[in-house]
Structure 1
Amino acid sequence: MNMRKTLAVAATVLALPVLTASAQETYKVGSSLGLTGYGSLTDGHWRDGLELAIEAVNAQGGVLGRKLQLVHEDNKSTPQQAVVGYRKMMSEDKVIAFDSGCISAGNFAAASFVSKAKLPMFLCSILPRQADEQKWAFSFLPPPKFEVDARYAYLKEKTDIRKVGILSDPSPYSMLMRGIAEKGAAEFGLTVVANETYQQDDSDFSVQIGRMNAAGAGAIIMLGQGNAVVTVANNMKALGLNKMLLLGSINETDILHSTGKIIGDQYLFPAALIQIASDDLSVIADPASRAAAEAFVKAAKAKSGTADSAQAARAWDSIMMLAAAIKKANAVDGTAVRDTFEKLGQFKGAGASYDFTPEQHVGIINNPYVIAVVKDGKLALKK
């Protein structure tokens, strides 16, 4: 072999590892999740939905010739840990975007430096407060007013109850809803006769419930996610309050079942149709929405045998929309992805229908909630 051929072969061999490494590169999506602490169940399901969607996108070839990869950090349900995790994923993992869980305080704490880095944030939580931060954040959470309105409308239309008590935790999401609930009661002919608070790790709510009962409240409007609602139900049962209704917040299906087992149809809650439809897709009338839900349900049941999480469905939708935006923009640059995402138009997903625009970064604009109960071990529409 002459010198020229030898050099050519050597150059080809040296190039092979570079080509192989390039082919294995991925686009990383970061996620700040409360995998421990009070948000663990909710954010655990958000992570599950992200993973399912990324697997589905990658099975179809990924985006722009590369696979997506999820990297996540446990924020321990605290804003301090969220900041640490966000910074790590930006500096070390070089993520192209964030798709984070439902811990509003953690997402708020990181929003300033994430927006300055021009990285889109897709969130299970409400939007951060500052306008320049909101330009980079997109919320997949239905507006809190929808959740309050669904409960108030039920009381007005289906019951004789006109006095309610509010029980809320101190999270940003709950505090926002508390203001909405206080101001919006009169619109439905209701009066708030008691306003109580609690901490997520409280082990007893008897005092707060007793004060609401003494004030004449016929229903408790509970504002806050997590297992605290189970404790409230146990307290109500122990106090013999078998006529008082408990209208809880949106929650994970496991928690809904646990609470319903304690006080039966005294416990009502707003639920997304996907939570009820996981065993009966026919409850979703729109064909496009039903097809999206079917894809999610099929993937979720193949993975874990269940598909009962509204959070997981919306997480799935967020990744599907991110992938669509990247493909349409033909780029992963943060500004290009954000601008394209704003212009995707109506997107009918598994968990809801979304209508993001440059002016509208809360994607769910029509109330997706129905009032549900636990019946015969399953979630059912309250008639």
Structure 2
Amino acid sequence: MGSHKALVVAIMLAATPILAAAAQETIKIGSSLGLTGYGSATDAHWRDGMQIAIEQVNAQGGVLGKQLELVFEDNKSTPQQAVVGYRKMITDDKVVAFASGCISAGNFAAASFVAKAKLPMFLCSILPRQPAEQKWAFQFLPPPKFEVDARYQYLKEKTDIRKVGILSDPSPYSLLMRDLAVKGAEEFGLTVVANESYQQDDADFSVQIGRVNAAGAGALIMLGQGNAVVTVANNIRSLGLTKLLMLGSVNELDILLATGKVLNEQYLFPSPLIQVASDDISVISDPAARQAAEPFVKAMKAKYGRTDNAQASRGWDSILMMAAAMTKAKSVDGTAVRDAMEQLGHFVGAGASYEFTADNHIGISHNPYVIAQVKDGALVLKK
């Protein structure tokens, strides 16, 4: 009799997270966000996109008869704080899934125990490294190679530049892009003649830029985000390097506009088309993509005015796909939602088109980036 009671207790304890989630009045979605620190601008936009998507889903009746609720914790752009926040959301808030921001290191640090809790992670960042963790993670960030290839394709087809220098920060995403840039240059007939690095809080980059220029590079490929990009542009101008093309990373609208104001047409960057379409939806020529983007752009403008749609659009997409997976699974159970995500098939979103499968948890398979520039205070396609 005692062993029977023990078995019953064990079964009840194992089922507690599922029962707790089922008993909640709302479906709680957790998000680890770098709302302070170097990732603050990026993750704030991701949060904005999720929030308006949740509002839209709830206005249409919610999911499985319940309203969605966003629960988020500021990871302060550090892996240590991310771990604390993820644990709180699992144990205290009883979230049923995560749609977390772009701080790769933080998502990596938490991935092992999120996987053990059998909760799906929809990520703005690259996937964690371990296969057991990747099984529970879905990447809404385009593969880093797409960002590298967009720059290199432009240099190959539109310029005579064949020597490039790289300047990268130490984030996992930038380091991954740097390796891809070094290994992939030859494919485009390019040579990496300098490979420099920096820290996010550095105040001057003149030494690294000088070495890139001295090596004969015609273009500086900067792999990094935030205010450092503006500082690099100012350094290039101060050094009088009027022939050194600066090709930046995907970045926040405010940073792009500020950097473009410094260097004008000397500064180019890869951009998701939705970011350029923030002011002019007509640049999206594909009818299905435009139809998916229009309600998102309208909702963003209504709530935030002019804002940056790059990260926000994929935050929006992550919530709509999560809702679709829960509806398909007829459940908020983590395993059921994960399996349903792998079976959704082709999904046209506002930020990109996605196709997750059991063997592929990187949803974006076609390069969504265009090369853009700043002109008259707006983003425009580079012709």
TM range (shorter): over 0.9
In structure 2, the partner of 1:365 is: 365
Q: Distance in 2 between matches of 1:203 and 1:58?
A: 45
Equivalent residue pairs, number: 362
Q: Distance in 1 between matches of 2:293 and 2:251?
A: 19
Kept in 2, the 8 Å contact 1:61–1:67? The answer is: yes
In structure 2, the partner of 1:99 is: 99
Q: Distance in 2 between matches of 1:225 and 1:233?
A: 13
* 1:140-289 → structure 2 map (5 Å cutoff): 140-289=140-289
Query: Counterpart of 1:239 in structure 2: which amino acid?
Result: L
Pick closer, same or farther for the CA change 1:86–1:23 going to 2, 3 Å: closer
* 1:1-383 → structure 2 map (5 Å cutoff): 25-383=25-383
Kept in 1, the 8 Å contact 2:52–2:300? The answer is: yes
Q: Distance in 2 between matches of 1:333 and 1:70?
A: 17
Q: Quick check: which has more Rg, 1 or 2?
A: 1
Deviations 1:210-255 (A, max 9, x none): 0100111111111112221100000001000111011000001111
Deviation at 1:23?
Answer: 10
SS in 1 for 2:249: coil
Q: Distance in 2 between matches of 1:363 and 1:228?
A: 30
Query: Counterpart of 1:361 in structure 2: which amino acid?
Result: H
Kept in 2, the 8 Å contact 1:260–1:373? The answer is: yes
Query: Counterpart of 2:108 in structure 1: which amino acid?
Result: F
Deviation at 1:71?
Answer: 0.5
Deviation at 1:292?
Answer: 1.2
What TM-score results when the alignment is normalised by the length of structure 1?
0.93
What TM-score results when the alignment is normalised by the length of structure 2?
0.93
Kept in 2, the 8 Å contact 1:115–1:136? The answer is: yes
SS in 2 for 1:240: coil
Deviation at 1:284?
Answer: 1.2
SS in 2 for 1:308: coil
Q: Distance in 2 between matches of 1:277 and 1:175?
A: 29
Kept in 2, the 8 Å contact 1:96–1:332? The answer is: yes
Kept in 1, the 8 Å contact 2:317–2:350? The answer is: yes
Deviations 1:275-315 (A, max 9, x none): 11122212112222111110101100110112432100000
Query: Counterpart of 2:196 in structure 1: which amino acid?
Result: E
Moved >3 Å (runs of 4+): none
Deviation at 1:130?
Answer: 0.3
Q: Distance in 2 between matches of 1:301 and 1:330?
A: 33
Kept in 2, the 8 Å contact 1:37–1:76? The answer is: yes
Query: Counterpart of 1:234 in structure 2: which amino acid?
Result: N
Moved more, 367-376 or 221-230: 221-230
Q: Distance in 2 between matches of 1:133 and 1:381?
A: 38
Q: Distance in 2 between matches of 1:24 and 1:108?
A: 28
Q: Distance in 2 between matches of 1:366 and 1:307?
A: 25
Deviation at 1:24?
Answer: 8.0
Q: Distance in 2 between matches of 1:279 and 1:37?
A: 28
Q: Distance in 2 between matches of 1:378 and 1:191?
A: 32
Q: Distance in 2 between matches of 1:58 and 1:69?
A: 9
Kept in 2, the 8 Å contact 1:23–1:66? The answer is: no
Kept in 1, the 8 Å contact 2:245–2:267? The answer is: yes
SS in 1 for 2:72: strand
Kept in 1, the 8 Å contact 2:45–2:308? The answer is: no
SS in 2 for 1:32: strand
Q: Distance in 1 between matches of 2:329 and 2:71?
A: 23
Query: Counterpart of 1:380 in structure 2: which amino acid?
Result: V
Query: Counterpart of 1:103 in structure 2: which amino acid?
Result: I
Kept in 2, the 8 Å contact 1:297–1:307? The answer is: no
Deviations 1:303-357 (A, max 9, x none): 0112432100000000000001111111000000000011101100000010111
Query: Counterpart of 1:133 in structure 2: which amino acid?
Result: E
Kept in 1, the 8 Å contact 2:230–2:259? The answer is: yes
Q: Distance in 2 between matches of 1:222 and 1:355?
A: 30
Query: Counterpart of 2:315 in structure 1: which amino acid?
Result: A
Q: Distance in 2 between matches of 1:254 and 1:57?
A: 29
Where structure 1 has 5 or more consecutive residues not aligned to the other structure, the ranges are: 1-21
Kept in 2, the 8 Å contact 1:153–1:188? The answer is: yes
Q: Distance in 1 between matches of 2:374 and 2:193?
A: 28
